[in-house]
Structures are given as C-alpha cells and as structure tokens.
Structure 1
Amino acid sequence: MRTTLQRQAGNPPTAVRNLGILAHVDAGKTTVTERILYLTGATHKRGEVHDGTTVTDFDPQERDRGITIFAAAVSCVWDGHRINLIDTPGHVDFSDEVERSLRVLDGAIAVFDAVAGVEPQSESVWRQADRHAVPRIAFVNKLDRAGADLDTAVESIRERLHIVPLVVQLPIGQEDGFSGVVDLLRMRSLVWGTGSDTYEEGPVPDDLREEALRRRGLLEEAVAELHPVALEEFCGEGTLSAATLMAALRDLTLGGEAVVVLCGSAYRNCGIEPLLEAAVAYLPSPQDVPAVRGTHDGTVQQRAADPDEPFAALVFKVTSTATGRLTYLRVYAGTLRKGDIVLDPGARRSERIGRILRVQADRHAEVDHAVAGDIVAVIGMKTARAGATLCAPGAPLVLEPPTVADPVVSVAVEARSSLDTDRLAAALARLAEEDPSLVVRTDPETGQTLLSGMGELHLEVAVEKVRRAYGLAVGVGRPQVAYRETVARGVSGLVHRHVKQDGGAGQFAHVVLDVAALDPSAEPAGGNAAGAGDFVFRSTVTGGRVPQEYIRAVEAGCRDALAEGPLGGHPVTGLRVTLTDGATHPKDSSEMAFRTAGRFALREALRASEMALLEPVVEVTATVPDDAVGGVLGDLAARRGRVSGQVARAGTAVLTATVPLAELFGYASRLRSRTQGRGTFTTRATGYAAVPTAVSEQVSAG
C-alpha cells in the first residue's frame, strides 16, 4: 500500500507543470481540483461543491449557484513537481475566462462525465485548446453514477473530438460497485476503500485478467500504429514494454496525435493519484514547450524558459481585493524579484513590483522571486490589464495577447439613486478591467449606460457583483442581443467626391467604389487586397491615379464606416469593397481627405445596397424526461428553433437545436416549468444567421 503522504513527501519541487482543468459544466472539474489539493497536502479537508466549501469556487456567487464562474489558480507539490492548476469555468458564458487561461498554460486535463460523454461545452473548450496547441490528457469522471460507461464515453471522444483515445485503465466494478481501476501499463490493480485516502495495489483480479490482456493488446496496437519507435519494437518483439509504451504515450500527447484516457470518481476519491502521475509523466513542463515568441520594432524575437534570459511575462487576469489590485502573471523568461522595475510596452510605462504572491485561490503566500515557468500574482501594478506584456526595461518585447470575443448581449444599467451614478460608473469600469469580455458604453441616442457581455448569465453575474461588492442599488433593463448588418445585394460604380474649401489648403478626394457581399471561399483576383476575416478591401486602380498612401487612407475610412449600418446602426460585417477608380488634386489631396471620402462613400453605398440583418444563434442541448419531449420541441419551434438531433438515453431524451439568442431570454424558467424541474439545457455559440423579414422590420423599428 502506498499513501499520498509518502508520494508527496516534502522534497523541494524540481520541475513545474502549468495545467488547466477543462470540462463542460457539472462534469466535476472543481471536485477533481479539490481532490488534487487534498491528496497533495495543499489542503487538509476535502471541499465539496454542494456544501459550498471548495477552495477554488470561493466567490459567494459561485457557492450560491454551484458553478465555477471565475478561473481560479492554485498551486501544490506532487512527487517533487510544482503543479500550478487553473480551474476554469464550464459554462459557455464564461468561455473568455477559459481563453485567457489557455493562453498561459502548457497542458490541460479534460474532464468528461462517464454518463454524458463529450458534451457541447466540452467540445468547445477542446477546440479552444486545439487553437493554442495545448497538450491534454482525459479523465472520465463519475464512473460510480447510474448509467456510467467508460467505453461509451471514450467512443464519444473519438467521434466528436476527432482524436485517437488511448485508454490506459480498466474500471473495477460498475456504477455504485465501482471501486478501482486496472493499470494496463503495469498490469496491476488499484483499489480504494470507502472514504479512504489511499489505494491498495495488487494483482489484476482473475475475472478481469482476460479482458485486461485484451485491452492491453489493443493499446499496444494503437500506439504502434502512431509511433515509429513503438512500431519497430512491436514488430520485432510482438509486444511493447511499459517503458516504451510510456515514452510513446508522452510523445503522442505532446504532439497532439492522441489523448491518454484515465478514469475514476473524484467524489469518491478514486483515480486521482494515477491522474497526477499521468499529468507529470505525459504533460509538458515549461522547458518542453517552444520558446515564447514576441515582437519588437517589427521584428520577431524568442525568449526561452530560462531564469537567466531577459524577463518577459504575460498578464492574464486582474482582480481587485480588499488588500489591493492583484495582477496574475505567467513568467515566460527571466526572473522577477520584489522591488523590480518592469516595462509595460503597450502602455509605454514602467511600474515597480511591490509583492510577489504564490496564489491559492483567494489565499496567498508571499515569495521573494518568480522564475521562468511560474504563475504568480503581484501587487503594485496600477494600470496593467489582462493581455499586457511585462518585460525588462532594457529588453522590450510584446507578446501576443489572448483574443477577446465580441459581446453578444447587452443590458441597460442605471443607479437607483442619482447620487450613486459616479460610483456605478467607477464600479463598471473596474468590472471591465477585470473581465475584458465585458464592454461598457453609452448609447448615443438614449444616453443610457449599456453593459455588454457573452450571455444572460454573464451579465447577471456582473450586475450582482456590482450590487454585492460595491453596495449599489442597480436597475437593469431587458437584455438585447448584438445584431450585425451585411450586404445582400451590393452596388457598383458608386462615385463620391469630397471637396472642401474654407480658406487655406482645401480638401479634395474622388473615389469610385464597388460593394458586394463577401464570399469567404473566394480568393481575391488581381489588385491589392487586405482583409480581417469579415471585411476585405481591394484596389484595382491602375496608372497611379490614386497613390498607395491614399488607397490605405480609403481603406481606413471604409473601416470607420463599418461601425454603423443603415438598418439600425449595427456593425456591418461580411463585406467586400473594391476601389475601382479615383482622382487627386496636386495641392488639396491628402490622406485625411481620402479617409473622409472613403467613409462617406461606403455609407452612401450601404444605403444604396440591399441590406440584411444578422442575429447571433446558439446550439441548445436540452436533456428532458421522455414524457416532456413534445412540449419542449413545441416550445423550441415557437422560439424559431431548428431541431437537428434527438437521442434517447435511459428515460430521458437529449434534444439539439439551433435557436436565435434573442429567443432564449427566460428559457431556463420555461424549461423547468415544462419538465417539472427535471430538464436542463446548455448552449454553445455557433455564429450569426439571417433574420426573417418580419423580425428584421420589428428590430429596425425598435
């Protein structure tokens, strides 16, 4: 028998793992994190989500709602390795928290429900990790639940995530009888007693030996197909040694060619030690990932994860606490010490580091320094925001910041008392500083303050935080979605002359534009093209009739005009603009004149075009009792939903539909009433779709 205390024995850490816990809401991420902290000795009591006693879900709203809202960083030591863990939210409304976390992580543990398998948000966060090339291992959780099935969950990983799953464990017992696993690498059993913090190691049970040997053979064959060294040994020996198998699994994990799959029940404390061992064995350290790349004066530079390199770090989170402003950093290169002066090249200012903290969710331990590979929080930074680069003043570098998604829902907020207006403005500004996916603006027509975010729950949490943290009474208007406008049928040869003479040098610019809907699959043919995904600008002007610097000014003016479309002042997207002709004046033409001409010309062209309104749509996955399916389907149809799938599962049905986001406000209470409180649903953003004519007219009139 081996205890966790022996495994964690207090040697200083010799290596670092920066890992995230990723999953769909309610798959067990936070419980997995709590068990890791307990088993490594970082905490002395098991926290439970349902009791509101977890370390990482420390915010009052998280405990009230029973979900993770804010990414929380914790740190522990296992087998001589420092493990920095970030427990990320699982709800789609907080996907921006996941995005910022993935930007600074080296590896991740993806947690899946053994009953539900890969769920919609599991798939979304997996794709986010793909974009950042973050290696992952998988943990199939909740094997003690009724209906749990490892093979079904693994097959959903293969089918929905398009990755080869390499299962290295076999469950011992099913559902409530689940008690341990067979380790297929070392061909041994690991059994946890009820409520025990340790596992008992033994031989493979006789009734599982044949199945374990079969699965070990399948694992060896799958690895040999993907790894050339393993293939050579497999062909020569007919089998693979445990050492070769583990080395191949690490290579395949780091290369993203396959995912190692483990299983267990975090709530029962089963399977956490092997999960930690797999994280250390297969996931990369900061030294295993490529050197971070940044830019300075237009040139690309690299910084290795070396304490002796010039300092470089990325800010990925900012929070305000009673003790001051906490700025969370991932140190990519160099060493940071208390009292150091660091440069924020984006803001072009230097700041002094007051204190450096090792973070344990809402608790902190002060340290003297941080080195390459560390994730820490610092006190003393006054202006650095999420996405900012901090570097040594003598070696400037700008790292690529995390991407921030455009908000899709807005509400009007106002203070109940006019005396609190200034306090509300300050509170909202601080919220937007902490969460870049929240946008605060003033409606130019009504003068109302609008708070925009990623979903209804996202805005509910933000407003409730203003009420609780700042003690403000706040009124909230009805949510509104972020519509877009696009061109259904464009115009050609639109001529605009900008002539202005008011004494002194005048302004003259003459442009001719073609405007059309953008076909993303079509490559620009000829001319000079520039685009950013949903807008492409190109010039076919010949003979130098419009100089290149003026062409760039016309493009800038067109981009200015995209902010407000003619239907209702919504941003314009999906547009191709071609500058076909123009003229200049030897004295009065300037970049400013052509930028102004480009802006007014595109506005005229959009008013002359046939425009279409676009609305955000989401994929809704609802799990409902069999006897409520008809009512739920009817309700989705009434909300302009298009049902795309229906799967029966143990007395329930899983319905999948695409629904306009504007039609989902209040859906949670409606679903509960139609299913007598037994129905649940999740959403996943899928983009924008055209609005029906009748709805478009209502939106434009409103």
Structure 2
Amino acid sequence: MSWRLSRLQTLSCLLNRNTSQSLLTSSSWYSTRKVGEVIEDVRRIRNIGISAHIDSGKTTLTERLLFYTGRVAEMHEVRGKDQVGAKMDFMELERQRGITIQSAATYVMWKDHNINIIDTPGHVDFTVEVERALRVLDGAVLVLCAVGGVQSQSYTVNRQMKRYNVPCLAFINKLDRQGSNPNRVLHQLRSKLHHNAAFLNIPIGLEANQKGIIDLVQEKAIYFDEPQGIVLREEEIPSDMRAEAKDRRQEMIEMVSNVDEELGEMFLEEKTPSPEEITAAIRRTTNDRTFTPVLVGTALKNKGVQPLLDAVISFLPNPSEVPNICLDNSEGAEKSKKISLNPARSTDAAFVGLAFKLEAGKFGQLTYVRVYQGGIKKGDTIINTRTQKKTRVQRLVRMNADEMEDVLEVYAGDICALFGIDCSSGDTFVTKGNMHLSMESMYIADPVISMSIKPVKKSDVDNFSKGIARFTKEDPTFRVHWDDESKETIASGMGELHLDIYAQRLEREFNSKCVLGKPKVAFRESLVSPCEFDYLHKKQTGGQGQYARVIGVVEPLPVEENTKLEFSNETVGTNVPRQFVPAIKAGFTKACLKGGLSGHKVTGLKYRLVDGANHAVDSSDLAFQLASEMSMRDVFDMGQWQILEPVMTVEINAPEEYRDQVLENITKRSAIIQGTDSVEGHFTVFCEAPLNEMFGYATELRSLTQGKGEFTMEYSRYCPALPETQEKLIQEYQEALEAQHQKKKKN
C-alpha cells in the first residue's frame, strides 16, 4: 500500500496548493475489496476487450487502465528502456519484438465496478486470439490511431465484433503524434466501417499542443495534471472552442436521436435533453449496436484514459443485458434447440461455462473459462459435455496477466481460470444433470500458409513433439501433420510471422531449435461446372461380396462459399438405405482430401446424391463408401477443374517519395490496386494480391523505401489462380507422380 499512500500524499499537496480548483482524483476510486471476493451484483460487472490494428496503442492503453485503477504501482512502456515492459506483454518474446502475441486477461475495480479486460494482439497472424476473446466478451473498445485511422486489421476486428454482436466504444489514441487528425478518423469510421458514430469528447489541441479534452455530454473541459495525469481538473470550456463544442454536441444528439425513440421525440419537440437523458440514450443505442460513441485521448501522455473507464461503465452492457444462447441437445445434435441462459449471479441455476482459451503455464495447463449461468465453487465437480468427463475444481483463480489470484467462487458473468482440466478450446462445462447443454463454438479460420518444420538435432525430437502437442492444443489455427509423400512434418498457420513465432517458442520454451522450410501456399481445387456421376461398385469373387451404386451430380458452390464442402441426400424410396448415407458422405469427404489436378484439397463442391442401388446381402458401409470415393474419381476425370489460391488484402504505407517504385513493384506481384490515400507526406496503397506472390515482400519493401515502408496483409478469400500458376502446379504434381512411380518400379 506504500505506493498508494505516496500517490495520495502527492495529491494532498496539490490540493493544498490550489484549493480553488475543482480536482477529481482516481485515489477515491481504489477498491478496498479483498483478494478472493467477487461482486454479487451483476449490474456492476463489465467484460471488455481492447482490440485494434497493430501499433494503435492497445497495450499502452491497458497499462494506463491498470495504473489508474491501482492494479500496478508504476507504468512501463511496450518498448521501455527500463527492461521491464508492459504488464500485459509478459512473454519474453513479446517484450523483445514489441508486439502482443497472446491475449492476456486481467480485471480492475473502477468506481466499485469490476471490469474484466482482455488485451488482444493486433497482428492478423494471431487473429484467433481476438476471435475467441470477442466470443466471450460483452463489450469492446476499438482503438484507432489518430494518424493511421482505420487500417486493415481494423476491418477484421470490426467483422469479428459484428459476428458475435459485440457493442463497442471507439477510442482515438495518439493525439500527441505529428499528423494526428481525429476528424479524419471519425469520417473513416463512418465511411469505411459503416458505424453511426459521433464524438463524446473532443481534443483541446493536437500534437505537441495536446492539453486535455472537452466532455460534450457534461459540457466541461477536463485537464489531466501531474503526477502522471492522475489529477483531473475540470474547468469551463475554453472560449475559442465553445462554438465547435456546441456544434459537435448537437451533431452527437442528432446521431443518437436518429436511432433512439425517446431522444428522437425530444429532438422533434425541440426540447433540450439533460446529460442524464443523453447518457441513457447513448447506453441504449450502444447496446443495440446502432450507435458507436467516440472518445479521444493519448494513452502514452496519460490523457483521456479515466473518461474512457467512465464510458465503459456508463455505456457498455453488464452480463445480464446480453442475450446468451445455449444449445439443448437432449433430443440429439440434429434436433438441438436454442435456449436462453439465466444471467443471475447465484449458484442456484445450473452452471454453464465455456473454455475459450488454453495456456500452458508454470503449474500445468491453465483453462480460461467464461461463466454464463450459475456459478462454481472451489471443490465442485464439473463435467465436459463433449467428453462426458468429470473433473473436480482443485483451484479457482482470476488472472492479472501472468499473475494469479485465488478465489473461492465465481458467478455468471465472471471470467476465471482453472487448473488440471483436460479439455480443448471451445468445450462446454456444466454441473450434473445438464450434460445435454453446450455453448455454440467460435469461428476458426483455416490456415493459409504451410512450411516444413524439423528440429536441428535429432536428440531434440521429444521436446519438439511436446512443444508441437502443446501449441496445437492452445491455438486451433496452428496445425501440424506428417506428409507421407515428402516425408516431412508440415506446420500450417495464418502467416510467415505466425509460424516463425512458434519456431522461436519451441527453441525458448522447449529447448528445441527448429528450421523452417520454404513456405507453401494452401491451394485448393474446385469444379467449374456441374458434373453427373453414376458409379457401380461390384465385387463378388468368393465370400461375402460388395455391392453399391450411387447416382447423382457434383456441382460447384457459389464463389463466397468456395472453401466449403456440402453433401445433400436427395434420394427417394429405399434404393439407398438410410443407414448407408453417412458412409457415402464419408467417402465423398475422403476423396476431397486430394484433388486430381495438383494434389491439393478439393473445396467449393456440393455432392447431391439422387439415386442408387443396393444388394440385400452384399451392400455395406464399406461398399457405399468405396462407391462414393470412386464416383468422385470419375468426376475428377470427366469434370472441368480449376485451382484456387488465397488472395490477401494488402495495405502498404510508405513516404510519398517512394510512391512510383512501390506501385510498380506491387503491380509486378499480380496485385490489383483498389485505392490510395495520402496523409502528411506518407501514402497508403490498398490492394489485393495472391499470397503466393507475397513471399519475401517485407525485405523487398524495406530495400525500396530505405527501411521506411511497412505493410500489413490479411486473408480475404479464395479466387481462381493465375493461368501460369495453375500450369506450374499441375506440371510439378505430374513430375512428382512420375518420380514416385519410377521409385516404386526400382523397388
């Protein structure tokens, strides 16, 4: 407590020196709650995520949130000179690279409200961390850079929020940076991300002149005085900004009135709403995702953070205000019904929790769980609905980055962590008698890049295997398999950085130095036009025979679904008995693992089973599965096929003087330029390019721009590959098959 006392003494001196000014300090908002206690009132709980593009200041902002709420004694920077680093970037690799790799959870107390916070990575390669965080959160803070504005990863985060219907606040950070322009960022938020957004506060000065903010709801100016911006000084709005503040306040009221009936009626009747009425309207519309409040500040310079905490409490929903849906599988998975969960914070209701993140710590596997209904206590027995396995809760903790705080019980709305639980990410836990309940799983993107990986020393194979087993369990987008043809271990992920980070973690955490091979793109094969099939599988040469006939058509799916496979049983009568349909589907799925053009996976198909035939004695699951597989082989031979490749959305930023060289270079890589933007001597290129053409681009861009250029890239969709790419892949596959055939001949 000594650091808190010293901070309070400093504040006391300031108060004595200037008693005429209105001073608000965060010191009065520190919680006296003991470790192990949980809040029983669900209205005083908030679960939020901090999400943004790379280098927008998420981790720096979270560090300030921890400091002002009394969770850390002093602030540290992401790339600090003191070698300490930010609290939430506790992994050594994160501190060295200055990026967030894993999402980290913590909780803070502010004005007697418990705010659970998850700080997420900004790099697209670690997008699954954002995905699973937003799956379990009730609200989010979208951080935008005042200079960069809406960038490529901002689109991804926005899509993820929309997917899980997460209300959000926008925080425009880095007002102190040269070239900051919050008005332009607000315009981008409206035009690019299509948010009905308006300022709730505006800056007093920009860049080096940034002094504070104006609260448009309460109509007052707020200054953040030393030490370290703890003291909030309220004054009248500066005379030279009153006109702008009035216009912005009116604009905010109009934007909210357009989507809120109560405020809309007052607006039409030309009544002046009170700050309380405006706050209530903003809360309603934010929770409905029809309005996005925009706050401003600069986390690095300790300005605008406390109003953001106030906004989280005032405008984002508590767990009871968010509809949480669970699947009731009591009548089977195919007839599962959606039911609403009870958010009341008590142990009377049946416990339902979702394991959304796994992490191997010093004391074994740590399982992060969001409690959706009921509650659990230390010593309770919980059941995994997927494996039906019972586990006793030995230890129950709440996380503060890499630190753990033991608690005795948790309730609906809480985020906690458990030890010694054997499960996978996305598993549902319940108490006895509710094993038919399960939470809907989160969206997991397919990997887009593959590289061979192997330990440098053969003696490190055991450690290598342990590390791979752990990482694939923690991260569903990191996948590893053995390729029989190349006799290599293949690692697949979301990008070169993704795989490189795991190679480095294998060396650091498992003492197994690895070497990565040449990157391989996850190409796909798909049909161009429908192709009919009629295949009879018949084997009757002694003993029990095999008989199965399948008739139907394989047709391509729409372009937006070209990464999926669909199976449709359209048979009528008993020509194909119902019990054999799953075997036919299994045969179709198996055949699609390897296409006939280049040996890559087959996607974007719909297998329509129309008719067939069976034999009373010789038909079996195996017979129909083989018939289905061979029917696909016929389609491979008869159909017209094409190769699909992943296309990436690329955003390049560089000084204006290098524009021509950068545009010429990216065009050579088969990129389609969609637009450009210029700000303060820098330009940004927005384009789409095949992933296959983007390897090594980081090095090339640096050499073109003398190290001043940077780019971000994220997966967009699969498109037909360029003709020369298709020809090359087909030729390579044929040569590989020929070499394999010759090898078999020799043997």
- Compute the TM-score of the two structures, normalised by the length of structure 2: 0.89
Note the C-alpha offset of 1:660. 1.1
- SS of match in other structure, 2:229: coil
- Give per-residue Cα distances to partners, 1:590-622, cap 9 Å, x unaligned: 343222211221122123222111111101100
Report if aligned partners of 1:55, 1:361 keep a CA contact under 8 Å in 2: yes
Q: Check if 1:572 corresponds to 2:602.
A: yes
Aligned position for 1:458: 498
Task: Judge conservation of contact 2:197–2:255 (CA < 8 Å) in 1.
Answer: no
Deviations 1:221-262 (Å, cap 9, x if unpaired)?
222221111122223343211111111100100001010111
Is residue 43 of structure 1 aligned with residue 72 of structure 2? yes
In the TM superposition, 1:548-559 aligns within 5 A as: 548-559=578-589
In 2, Cα distance between equivalents of 1:632 and 1:235: 52
Quote the offset at 1:518 in angstroms.
2.3
Confirm whether residue 179 of structure 1 aligns to residue 214 of structure 2: no
The residue identity in structure 2 corresponding to 1:556 is A
Q: CA deviation at 1:9?
A: 4.6
Q: Give the aligned partner of residue 693 of structure 1.
A: 723
Task: Indicate the SS of the match to 1:118.
Answer: coil
Q: CA 1:228 to 1:302, structure 2 compared with 1: closer, same or farther past 3 Å? A: closer
Check if 1:83 corresponds to 2:122. no
| Aligned-partner Cα distance in 1 for 2:685–2:661 | 12
Return 5+ residue gaps in structure 2 as ranges: 1-22, 733-747
How far 1:183 sits from its partner (Å)?
A: 0.6
Aligned with residue 441 of structure 1, among 454, 465, 481: 481
Paired residues for 1:502-581 under 5 Å: 503-519=542-558, 534-539=564-569, 541-542=571-572, 544-581=574-611
CA distance in 1, matches of 2:695, 2:112: 50
Q: Residues 644 and 236 (structure 1 numbering): CA distance in 2 closer, same or farther, change over 3 Å?
A: closer
Kept after mapping to 1: 8 A contact 2:562/2:604: no
Q: Structure 2 CA distance, aligned partners of 1:551 and 1:377?
A: 42
Distance in 1, Cα, partners of 2:411 & 2:403: 21
Matched residue, 2:705: 675
**Aligned-pair CA distance for 1:557:** 2.1
* Separation in 2, partners of 1:210, 1:693: 60
| 1:519-544 Cα shifts (integer Å, max 9, x gaps) | 369xxxxxxxxx99733434554554
Q: Which residue of 1 aligns with 2:47?
A: 18
Partner in structure 1 of residue 737 of structure 2: none
- Take 2:341 and 2:188, find their aligned partners in 1: how far apart are those partners? 39
Q: Conserved in 2, the CA contact under 8 Å of 1:139 and 1:261?
A: yes
**1:86: how far off?**
0.2
Answer yes or no: is the 8 Å Cα contact 1:303–1:309 preserved in 2: no
The CA deviation at 1:505 is: 3.5
Q: Secondary structure at the match of 1:395?
A: coil
What is the DSSP-based 3-state SS (H/G/I as helix, E as strand, rest coil) of the residue aligned with 2:702?
A: helix
In the alignment, structure 1 residue 7 sits paired with structure 2 residue 29: yes
**Counterpart for residue 358 of structure 1:** 398
Amino acid at match of 2:362: A
Q: 2:290 aligns with which of 254, 257, 267?
A: 257
Which amino acid is 1:599 matched to?
A: E
Write the distance in 1 (CA, Å) between the matches of 2:699 and 2:693. 13
1:144 pairs with 166, 176, 181, which one? 176
8 Å Cα contact 1:514-1:578 kept in structure 2? yes
1:269 to 2:302 alignment: yes
Picking from 632, 653, 659, the partner of 2:689 is 659
Contact 1:440 1:451 in 2 (8 A): yes
Structure 1 runs of 4+ aligned residues shifted over 4 Å read 11-14, 539-544
The residue correspondences of 1:182-331 to structure 2 (distance < 5 A) are: 182-193=214-225, 195-297=228-330, 298=332, 299-300=336-337, 301-306=339-344, 307=346, 308-331=348-371
Aligned equivalents of 1:438 and 1:648: distance in 2? 36
Match of 1:526 in 2: none
Runs (5+) with no aligned partner, structure 1: 522-530
With 637-646 and 190-199 compared, the bigger mean Cα shift is at: 190-199
Cα distance in 2 for partners of 1:213, 1:415 equals: 65
Looking at structure 2, the residues matched to 700 and 79 of structure 1 have their Cα atoms a distance apart, in angstroms, of 64
Distance 2:607 2:381 in 1: 47
Distance of 2:702 and 2:461 partners within structure 1: 37
SS of 1:161 mapped into structure 2:
coil
Letter in 1 for 2:601: P
Contact 1:410 1:453 in 2 (8 A): yes
Once the two structures are overlaid, the 10-residue window that deviates more, 151-160 or 367-376, is 367-376
Amino acid of the structure 1 residue aligned with 2:118: I
| Amino acid in the other structure paired with 1:269 | N
Partner of 1:524: none
**Helix, strand or coil at the partner of 2:73:** coil
Residue of structure 2 in register with 1:501 after alignment: 540
Q: Which residue of 1 aligns with 2:440?
A: 400
2-side partners of 1:658 and 1:166: how far apart? 31
**In 2, are the aligned partners of 1:513 and 1:601 still within 8 Å (CA)?**
no
Could you give the per-residue CA deviations for residues 40-92 of structure 1, whole angstroms, max 9, x where no partner exists? 00001112112151011111111111111100001110001111100001111
Specify the alignment match of 1:55 in structure 2: 87
Relative to 1, partners in 2 of residues 1:3 and 1:560: Cα closer, same or farther, differing over 3 Å? same
Q: State the 1:587 CA deviation.
A: 2.3
Task: Give 2:522's match in structure 1, choosing from 482, 485, 488.
Answer: 482
Equivalent residues of 2:350, 2:373 under 8 A apart: yes
Asked whether the equivalents of residues 171 and 294 of structure 2 are also in contact (C-alpha less than 8 Å), the reply is: yes
Superposed CA offset, 1:479-517 (max 9, x none): 11111001124433x321111236543221112232332
- Residue equivalent to 2:62: 33
The answer to whether residue 135 in structure 2 is matched with residue 135 in structure 1 is no
| Range with greater deviation from structure 2 (566-575 or 453-462) | 566-575
Q: 1:116 Cα deviation (Å)? A: 1.6
Q: Structure 1, residues 423-473: CA drift from partner, whole Å, max 9, x if none?
A: 211210111011111111000212211111111100001110000000112
Aligned partner of 2:382 among 342, 349, 354: 342
For 2:170, the aligned partner's letter is A
Tell me the distance in 2 between the aligned counterparts of 1:512 and 1:375. Answer: 52
Which of the residues 186, 189, 192 maps onto 1:157? 189
CA contact (8 A) 2:587 2:625 kept: yes
Secondary structure of the residue aligned to 2:601 is coil
The residue type paired with residue 244 of structure 2 is: E
- Which moved further from structure 2: 636-645 or 153-162? 636-645
Cα drift, residue 265 of structure 1? 0.6
Task: Check whether the contact 1:554–1:598 (CA below 8 A) recurs between aligned residues.
Answer: yes
2:641 maps to what in 1? 611
TM-score of the pair, normalised by structure 1: 0.95
Q: Secondary structure at the match of 1:376?
A: strand
SS of residue paired to 1:196: coil
Number of equivalent positions: 691
- Structure 1 CA distance, aligned partners of 2:542 and 2:380? 55
Shift in Å at residue 405 of structure 1?
1.2
CA distance in 2, matches of 1:70, 1:657: 28
* One-letter amino acid of the counterpart of residue 345, structure 1: T
Whether contact under 8 Å (1:413, 1:474) holds in the other structure is yes
**2:260 counterpart letter in structure 1:** H
Residue 485 of structure 1 contacts residue 567 of structure 1 at CA under 8 Å; is this kept in 2? Answer: yes
1:423 and 2:463 equivalent? yes
Q: What letter is aligned with 2:597?
A: L
Contact 1:25 1:121 in 2 (8 A): yes
